[in-house]
Structure formats: C-alpha cells, structure tokens
Structure 1
C-alpha cells in the first residue's frame, strides 16, 4: 500500500509539470515591429512599522504572551516587515520571483527571511505552472500580499492553516489558470507541496499535501467572487484534509463611497497541534484534533483624492477560530476595528490606527491563550 501511495504521489507531481505542455500554448505575433529585450527586471519593496500598546496588564504587546509575574513589555515599537522583491522576466510568460523579509532577522532567522522563491511559466491565460517556494491558492488571504490587506494583518486562521501546510509559504509546484464555463469566468489552481513550511532542507516525510481552488466570478461589476477550496494529504502516515469557502462583494454606495466585504470559513485537521503534543497527552486518533474558523471583514472606503491623500478607510474584522474544537476547545473571538489613510496609488503610503480585542473561551495563564486588548498604529510605504 505504501508503494502504491508513493507511486501515485509521484505521478500527480509529474502531471503538474507535464500538463501545461499538452495545452495550446501561447501564440507569437509575427507582425511585431520591435524586438522585446530580455531579461527585464522589476524591483518591489515594502516597509511596515508599528507602535503597539497593550491595554491588558501583564501581556506582551508583540507576542500576546501572558505573564503571571507581570514581567511583560506592554508598549513597544516594532518592524513587522521590511521586504525586498525582484521579478526577473526571462521571456514572454517566463519569470523568476524572489521575495525576502529582512525584518525576520530580529529573531532567530532559521526557516524565515526568504519568502517567495519560484519560477513561473504562463503558457496562456488558460494554463500556467510554477515551482519553488510560494503561497498555494487556498482562500482569499493567500491571494493578497500583506501590503494591500484591509486589516492590520492576516487572520488567526490563516496563521494556523499555514502551520499545517495549506497556506503561507510552502515548497512545491502548482498549475493554475482561468477559463469560461459558458459565460461564467472561472479561475483555478492545483498545488502539491511538502507542507512543512518555508526554507526547509527537505520534507519531514514522504507524504505530500494536495490542494485545489476554484473561484467563480459571479458579478464583475460588484466584484462578487465565490471560492471553493479543498485539500488532502498525508503527514507521518496519517491522512489529513482541509476545506474552505470564501466570498467577496463590493457595493458602490455613492460615486466615492464603496463598501468592500470579505467572508471566509475554513476547517481541517490540525496535525501541527497533534504532533506538538507529547504522545502520552494526546489521543491515538489524529481526527480528534480539528480546527475551524470564519471571519467577516467589511471595509468602508471613501475615495477622497485630495492632494496626496487618496482615500480614507474604516474596517472592522470579526473572527471566530478554534484550533481544536473537538478536544479541549478554547475558541477565540477577535474584533479588529481600524481606520486608515491611503496616500498615492495602490497603498504606496498608508497610516492605520485601531484596536485588536481578543476574547478566549477560557484564559490559560502564561500562554498566548489569554484575553488581550491591544492598540496599534501602523505605517507602511511600498514601491512596485
């Protein structure tokens, strides 16, 4: 049985690389008047700095760790991201992407710093392939870089699903593209990854994680998109899975006032939690450890376009997340109200201010599972 699993696993990975070559490919314009010179280089960068102030005594502002001896740093400045990226276009449709976050050097940089490192070839709008280290498509947040999020940061469920190999930066290969189902535009992605995070020497075992995404553009005018995501895999000889649904919709209230909304829900086995527990303190069935969560993010955007000020935004994300809802459930509810000012195009400059309210089903002393109220001011500058 293990031999068959390995055989079919290799066949699936091989298919990811071969499938694009069975497509029609891309056409060349024989009437082109000028020759395009390659390689072409594009440099991108992002700085995100924060001031954090805890409103709950005895809790670290940066980590959320509760200290029963009151030995906590409750006010601090922090550099969240200092990213530098390079996209090198080697030919039409073929590029190599590198992205590093130098802010990761402030702590142990092992398995950090390097974020994106992949090669990508787009044969046509219908099909493309990439391999290396990238973020597999598995929901809304995985498709958005941190500099254009409509809140301070990614959701709690994004972080936990990243720990479990479905989101965040993973090493593997992916096939992606778009097509029309009648008159309905559909985009898709299929990924095969190691599932043990970024910058790893090798996979932790022979198991792989396979995920897919289908997104349906139901209404282009109002940005109504519905996504269906699913994944299966094997981790240390145990079967794992994850599923997710997501929805976006925008409503133009006036010429300058827009209500942008996001809704996302996910559920899956939390093998990251299961294997972090001592063998004598967990059950023998990995299926007993499942995580699930959902968030709703409305963002009210007023496009003022006054001198250098582009827009004013108000958002409030509500999230419910439980990293183990079957055993030792300790659900976390997070409210993140935020006000932001955008300067320039595409969040070139951005100042945000708001709060993050964390409420747990029960507090556990000397851990991060503790009620916390945090005040945040964040500034970002980016070029692209």
Structure 2
C-alpha cells in the first residue's frame, strides 16, 4: 500500500466505521413510520435567474474589472450572471441525489463550467451523513449558503481564491457531516477529502489529496451566535499545502420589524494555484512562500415591510481585505460593497438589489484586474 493512501485508510477506519456501527445500532431500536407508507422517488425542481446591469466608473476599467491602457473599454453592459436549474431527488428516506447546472456559463467557454452540483448523499442519522460526487465542501460561512440568499451581490474575494486552491466552491470528493452535542453546546461538523482541482475535471491533477474539516459551535440559540473553525492540509504536486479559518455569525431581532445580522470571517492558506502559475525562473523554490489571507465583515439590517407585494428592505455593506500573496509581491485589495435590497415574496422569491463595488489596490497594475475600480450594479433575481 502506497504511503499517500494511508490518510484515506485511517480516515475510514478510525472515523467512519465507529459512527456507522453507532448508526446501525440506533436504527435497530427506532420505531418510526414504515418507509413503505411514503412514495419514492420524490422530485423537487429548483431554479435561479440573476440578471444585472453594470456600469464601471473606473479609469479605463471595463465592467469585468480589467484595466485597458488602449482605452477601448466596455463600461456599461447588461449581463446574465446565473441561470441555474437544479433537481433534488429523494430515492428513499435516507438517500438523495442532487444535480445543479448553471446555463449562463454557456455565454463563454463552458469547459470546466456549467455542471456545479452532482452528488449523492446518504443520511444514517443526525450524527452522520455521507456525501460523494461534486459539491461545495464545508470550509467557511459562504460554503453553506446559496448565492441567491447571501446578503451581498456575490461571494467574497477570499471565497473564489480559496476555491481556485481546492478548499471552497465546487470540488470533487467525499464528505462526512453530522451534528452532536458537546456538553450543552450543539455542534455541527464536516470532514472532506477532495481532489482539490476544481469542478468538472476528468481526473485529479496529481495523486495528492486535500483533507479539510469544519466545526461549528452554537454559542447562543436566541441570538443565533455561531463560531466556526476550519482547517485543512494536503499535498499538491508532492508539496505540502494548508488552509485555516475562523468565522462568527449572529442574528439579533431588535423588535417586531427590525433585525440585524453580522458575519465575520478570516482565512489564510497556501496559494499553490498562484505558485504553479508562475514561470519557474520567477518564483522561489518554496511553495510556502506564497500565502493568501483575508478577512471580511458583513453587517446586514433587515426591515420587515409586508406592504402589498414588498416583503422587506435590507441594507448591507461588506468590507473585505484580501491579499493573494502577502509574503512576496504583496498587493492588498480592499473591497467595499454597500447595497440596498428589496425583497418580494418569501425567502427571496423575488429580489431587486442596487449598490456599488468599490475596489482599491495598494499597487495598480495596468492591463490587469488588479486596478482601482468603482462598479455600479443593479441586480434582478428570481428563484423557485
């Protein structure tokens, strides 16, 4: 047995098998309603449409945030950000299959895009469920929240950069998740084993795997205060890589109409994606010299309106500091996104958002996306 397979074997032997035994023992004494009384399979169709108007106020910066020294710039445009279609199928009380595609990816080269979720999940009990396929592994706040109900226009810069490095966004692999109590504190956990080279890939880019875990501790049920801790290690082209993170969320009901929620998240890790994209002659011999880190704050104030078709108003402003290589060639990016949102129907069935994305870099690099920009956005969203 090769050494690189030892972590996978230990993961199964020492973690999964004891929990599987417990799950079987628990199910043996349960007296739930016989599954035969429920008809399977059950199908649930989902959809999401996000249409945007974008206008860039940056100096020779287009609507995608790229600077053009030639001056030939598209600074206003309509755009279809997402056109998602999904199907959740429950094959039994414990088994489900999830498929999600983003048809808007066909507007550019669809290679490595389009297919987002494609996984199966088996739930033994509340303590353990196994997931395998292509999914979003738990490694922070944003990985557990659909993009259509986040409190900003899009996910953070750190989310996408850590996704390029195999820790977040859609990845291929397997995961064990569940919930338990540590004393009086409810805890949710996740363990994941991933290829680490993104979605829709024919195979792993190397024989290395990335192992990650997330633990969420519910500190207050009344105010929904949760503390999340994340950690991951792995090998990429035989080099050691890592990622860590911590986050906290809260939701305070101020009165019958006003509520206030807050997200704070910090992440740090090896930027091996950047390291291997550089020419060998222009990088150091050690991949650990290239590390990314970032933190963001996302406060959101919600006011319940319930006037005719208008359900609520929301005011949010995400502030983020992110550096994709803070040790070598540092170029800190600061992003501020003030936004107002009008909600129609329940659970963001309809949503109109308006605001700015303000980007500031320590160093402007011409003809790249690392350039100061002010982008105005109006986004119209429908979900089912």
TM bucket (normalised to shorter chain) is: over 0.9
Distance in 1 (alpha carbons) for counterparts of 2:32 and 2:117: 35
Distance in 2 (alpha carbons) for counterparts of 1:9 and 1:249: 35
Give, in angstroms, the shift of residue 56 of structure 1: 1.1
RMSD across aligned positions (CA): 1.6
Cα separation, partners in 2 of 1:325 and 1:31, compared to 1, 3 Å: closer
Distance in 2 (alpha carbons) for counterparts of 1:84 and 1:15: 38
Cα separation, partners in 2 of 1:130 and 1:310, compared to 1, 3 Å: same
1:49 to 12, 29, 51: 51
More displaced stretch, 198-207 vs 300-309: 300-309
Cα separation, partners in 2 of 1:85 and 1:20, compared to 1, 3 Å: farther
| Counterpart check, 1:23 vs 2:11 | no
Deviations 1:293-314 (A, max 9, x none): 0000000000111111110000
- 1:112 maps to which residue? 113
Judge conservation of contact 2:35–2:93 (CA < 8 Å) in 1. no
List alignment gaps of at least 5 residues for structure 2.
none
- 1:101 maps to which residue? 102
* 1:280 aligned counterpart, secondary structure: helix
| Counterpart check, 1:59 vs 2:61 | yes
List alignment gaps of at least 5 residues for structure 1.
none
Deviations 1:323-364 (A, max 9, x none): 000000000000000000001110000000000100000100
Distance in 1 (alpha carbons) for counterparts of 2:356 and 2:349: 23
Give, in angstroms, the shift of residue 21 of structure 1: 2.5
Give, in angstroms, the shift of residue 249 of structure 1: 1.1
Judge conservation of contact 1:148–1:347 (CA < 8 Å) in 2. yes
- 1:227 maps to which residue? 228
Cα separation, partners in 2 of 1:123 and 1:33, compared to 1, 3 Å: closer
Distance in 2 (alpha carbons) for counterparts of 1:309 and 1:355: 23
Distance in 1 (alpha carbons) for counterparts of 2:5 and 2:342: 52
- 2:42 maps to which residue? 40
Give, in angstroms, the shift of residue 10 of structure 1: 4.6
| TM-score, normalised with respect to structure 2 | 0.96
* Count of residues in correspondence between the two structures: 381
* 2:55 aligned counterpart, secondary structure: strand
Give, in angstroms, the shift of residue 9 of structure 1: 3.5
Cα separation, partners in 2 of 1:215 and 1:316, compared to 1, 3 Å: same
More displaced stretch, 26-35 vs 336-345: 26-35
* 2:151 aligned counterpart, secondary structure: coil
| Counterpart check, 1:3 vs 2:2 | yes
Judge conservation of contact 1:354–1:377 (CA < 8 Å) in 2. yes
- 1:280 maps to which residue? 281
Deviations 1:155-175 (A, max 9, x none): 000000000000000000000
| Counterpart check, 1:314 vs 2:315 | yes
- 2:359 maps to which residue? 358
* 2:305 aligned counterpart, secondary structure: coil
- 1:121 maps to which residue? 122
